[in-house]
Structure 1
Amino acid sequence: MKYKMLTKAVGIALALSPAIALAGATVENVVYSGYGKWGTIFTDNDAHNNGKGERNDVIRADHGYGNFRLGNEMNWWEAAVKADVWKSGDAVFDTTLMLGSGDKWGDVSTIQFWSAGHNIFASQPNAKVWVGERFYRRHEVHMIDIKYWDTSSTGIGIEDWDLGFANAHFAWMAPNSSYTDETDATNDGGRTLHNIDVRLSDIVISDTADFTIGINYIFENNSDHGDKDVTTSGAMLSTLYRQAWQYGSNSFAFQYGTDGLAGGLMSAEGGTSRKYSTGLEHDGYSWRFFNSGDLNLSEDFQVMYSLAYQDKNLDNDYGDKWLSVAARPQYAWNEFMSTALEVGYENVEAQNGAGNNDLFKITLAQTFQAGKGTWARPSLRLFATWSDKGQEYERNGNKDYGEPVSVGSRNVEEFTFGFNMETWW
């Protein structure tokens, strides 16, 4: 049954463009795209997944953000089709539909559905107006599986307005607050937010470098929480500097957030549910940076790397300091076979002194992939991982926003192994 549902759903997406053609649309520009990762991770720890012998979650530091993804990913696929549905002269309107899944075979949902009008302003041929549910101008560190500037939700906006020195983008998004407090029976489970997103991108620094700057401001649609003194709004400044050079490329992002955006707009394992922290009885601020890139030391030897840090300081002392550092050297034996070694360390320190949670992880992977290089895909992998996870605190009451409390010292040393594929097109 689930297989039939999946087949039908993918069929609908792939059939979208001819269906549009029957409605009188132009089909000269139909683009199929997608991403997928799928496999199985086995573990020697019988405490995981009720002793079934395989993991149903990723290995990461408790209350940390993201994860070191080599040999440490849950299953996911997404497939999209974008087609021109109306054209008059140079003006074009297109529609994008993307379906995606969870970690169970057969899970299908609509994750993007939006339309855009291109070249409808005579003086701005590259600008477009859009409306719908979409992944909006996301920035990520692939290696640690973190989208650190992710406002994806339903919205309306204008993109790529040429100012001469930069491209301007304005969006009004309508996300949901993720805050829920399982211990508070009066909690409404989060409120609809407004997220105003203003960015300037493609600011040329040199022939090989550019700069992006943006501001996000969020506020609750209904901000009356009775007598509670809670956070109902927040702001965040983001900057991104990208540099290419002879031996690869590097990206450096810095963000500063306040109150409802003190947690940042991170979409990641452990981060997604802390994206919008309105409805909480605290204010505060945070700053973070992400530095990542790749080194091409030779045709056969490349290294991916990542360094990230966050200091979240809240007036109720429930914040934390987070550090993540990792490197993944990869050597190509020939055009289709490579060996990768990923080493990562993560540490989360509770603001109130309850303790530190950390993780040390090493993964060795043999890959069969479409060409040389760390970005070659599809990539078919056989891997083994050793990890050592320490825990000194957990959050009381609410797993994301509760008070950090000491639990002594716990340690889990684990060996995992398995296989997966990763592809995009």
Structure 2
Amino acid sequence: MKTNFVNKSLIALAVCFSFGAQASTDFFGYARAGMHVSPDGEKGNGHPDYIRAEGAPNKYRLGNEDDWAELGVRHDMYENGPERAEIGFMMGTWHNPETRSNSFTIMQAWGQMYGILGSDKTSIWAGQRYTRNIADDMLDFKYWDNSGRGFGLRDIEAGSVLMDFATVYNNVAYDDVNNPDSTRRSAVLMPEFRVHGIDFLGGNLTLGANYAYIIDDTDIKKHVGAGNYDRDGYMFTVNHKASFAGTYNIFTVQMNGGIGVGGWHDGEGELLNLTTPGTSYRIMNHGFCTINEDWSCQYSLAYENISMDNASDDGKDWFAAGIRPKYNWNKYLQTEVELGYQLVNSDRFDDSNTSWKATLSQKVHFGTVPHIRFYATYAESETNWEEQSFGKHVATQSKEMDSWTFGVQFEAWW
């Protein structure tokens, strides 16, 4: 079945490619892959340990990540003045460091029409879509991500600002309390509304509201219990992007509640928490500064606090700080150093979980991409409790781990 699925996907992509001779077609994608080895891995099998603090939602990525690839095509099917209709398709594959195997999926497939409602900018779309996600690149953390299957309107003109509306549908996982080894799913509707393009403090302000609602809770009542879940959740977001003094900065504050306690992050509603509701807030600040022609630097700061509604569930707070200075030797060679630290506290335990890592990377490239990166990463972590699942923290024997990872990797986007 998997082979048939892959073959059908490749055929569909080839058909889209063939359109290029007749009309406008754009190809886009991202890929990284290479050799990653560790003589100090915890499992003693040569595979690297991709280190993050236990309980953290993500990790500092340079020299601390596995293979990933996305390949997409966008094709204009119709164009007449401001009116345009397109289709798009993107597939992806990645290497799972836990199972040591590759996964494959269709990430996006959509149709979109531009030039509606009397506006050259406004469009309507339907399909499986990324909905203008916002991410901290150093952490590889998509913290505003309402991806899924649905429809939406983009760039509705309202005076000097623009509005987006989307509604997506996802099958969200939850644990069956009567059978701990069984994972069940319920359908959740996830509408989103954004106002963007607001001029504020020398930058661009975006305001957003997300909502999640369990469409039919009959099954979840049966397998969880009527009093142990919420039926809906929310997230409010304030996001500000600005450039000043050679710096491009992104600052975000988010408030979450109900089944949205974990925030809308990293795709397709998997981090909605149907049986562990609560409230939380998240503050993200990250960006890039150019010091001169030779020196530049990325930076990342994050804080998240989560409180749980059910007395049997455990809240936590997470702090992360990272910096990645870069030196340009010439137009072919760059050296990067990434330092990252994470700390996670549990409401149940006194001791914290921590991690830190340092990566030295030498990049070689012609033009902007692709890069070929030679790197060495040293990382340490201390684990004093484990997060079995969201809101479920258990005691564990305290353990410290340190690991070296060496690798050569290419990275490109287009």
TM-score by length of 1: 0.88
Residue 62 (structure 1) shift: 1.3
Is residue 2:51 matched to residue 1:59?
yes
Matched letter for residue 392 of structure 1: N
Cα distance change on mapping 1:112 and 1:182 into 2, 3 Å: farther
Residue 379 (structure 1) shift: 1.7
Is residue 2:152 matched to residue 1:140?
no
Matched letter for residue 394 of structure 1: E
2:335 pairs with 339, 348, 353, which one? 339
| 1:255-276 alpha-carbon deviations (Å, 9 max, x no partner) | 00001111001218xxx88611
Measured in 1, the distance between the counterparts of 2:262 and 2:406 equals 33
Measured in 2, the distance between the counterparts of 1:339 and 1:380 equals 12
Contact persistence 2:147–2:269 (CA under 8 A): no
Matched letter for residue 114 of structure 2: H
Is residue 2:73 matched to residue 1:81?
yes
Residue 184 (structure 1) shift: 3.0
> What is the root-mean-square deviation of aligned Cα atoms in Å?
2.5
Measured in 2, the distance between the counterparts of 1:9 and 1:190 equals 26
SS of equivalent residue, structure 1 residue 352: coil
Name 1:240's counterpart in structure 2. 239
Cα distance change on mapping 1:232 and 1:20 into 2, 3 Å: farther
Contact persistence 2:170–2:269 (CA under 8 A): no
Measured in 2, the distance between the counterparts of 1:101 and 1:189 equals 25
Residue 212 (structure 1) shift: 0.3
Farther-moved stretch of structure 1 (192-201 vs 171-180):
171-180
SS of equivalent residue, structure 1 residue 103: strand
Measured in 1, the distance between the counterparts of 2:183 and 2:294 equals 55
1:363 pairs with 348, 359, 362, which one? 359
Name 1:251's counterpart in structure 2. 250
Residue 4 (structure 1) shift: 12
SS of equivalent residue, structure 2 residue 13: helix
Name 1:389's counterpart in structure 2. 381
SS of equivalent residue, structure 1 residue 125: coil
Farther-moved stretch of structure 1 (10-19 vs 168-177):
10-19
Is residue 2:30 matched to residue 1:35?
yes
Residue 86 (structure 1) shift: 2.3
1:228 pairs with 226, 229, 232, which one? 226
Cα distance change on mapping 1:331 and 1:19 into 2, 3 Å: closer
Matched letter for residue 65 of structure 1: P
Matched letter for residue 54 of structure 1: H
| 1:362-382 alpha-carbon deviations (Å, 9 max, x no partner) | 1101111345xxxx4322111
Name 1:163's counterpart in structure 2. 158
Is residue 2:92 matched to residue 1:92?
no
Matched letter for residue 118 of structure 1: Y
Which structure 2 residue ranges, 5 or more long, are not aligned?
none
SS of equivalent residue, structure 1 residue 404: strand
Measured in 2, the distance between the counterparts of 1:11 and 1:37 equals 24
1:414 pairs with 380, 403, 406, which one? 403
Measured in 1, the distance between the counterparts of 2:395 and 2:12 equals 51
Measured in 2, the distance between the counterparts of 1:164 and 1:62 equals 47
Residue 190 (structure 1) shift: 2.1
Listed as ranges, the matches of 1:285-296 within 5 Å are: 285-296=279-290
Cα distance change on mapping 1:422 and 1:188 into 2, 3 Å: closer
| 1:167-205 alpha-carbon deviations (Å, 9 max, x no partner) | 101111101213235873596612010001000011122
Contact persistence 2:151–2:167 (CA under 8 A): yes
Residue 46 (structure 1) shift: 4.5
Measured in 2, the distance between the counterparts of 1:368 and 1:5 equals 36
Listed as ranges, the matches of 1:200-239 within 5 Å are: 200-205=195-200, 208-224=202-218, 225-226=221-222, 227-229=225-227, 230-239=229-238
Contact persistence 2:38–2:406 (CA under 8 A): yes
Cα distance change on mapping 1:107 and 1:11 into 2, 3 Å: farther
Is residue 2:299 matched to residue 1:301?
no
Higher normalized strand content (fraction of residues): 2
Matched letter for residue 403 of structure 1: K
| 1:31-90 alpha-carbon deviations (Å, 9 max, x no partner) | 111000111211123433xx33123x6221112111111111111111111011123443
The percentage of counterpart residues that share the same residue type is 26
2:93 pairs with 98, 101, 110, which one? 101
| 1:244-303 alpha-carbon deviations (Å, 9 max, x no partner) | 0131210001100001111001218xxx8861101x1x4320000110011111111001
Measured in 2, the distance between the counterparts of 1:323 and 1:86 equals 48
Cα distance change on mapping 1:151 and 1:326 into 2, 3 Å: same
Measured in 2, the distance between the counterparts of 1:121 and 1:325 equals 44
Which structure 1 residue ranges, 5 or more long, are not aligned?
22-26
Matched letter for residue 415 of structure 1: W
Farther-moved stretch of structure 1 (225-234 vs 109-118):
225-234
Q: How many residues align?
A: 402
TM-score by length of 2: 0.90
Cα distance change on mapping 1:7 and 1:193 into 2, 3 Å: closer
Measured in 1, the distance between the counterparts of 2:128 and 2:8 equals 22
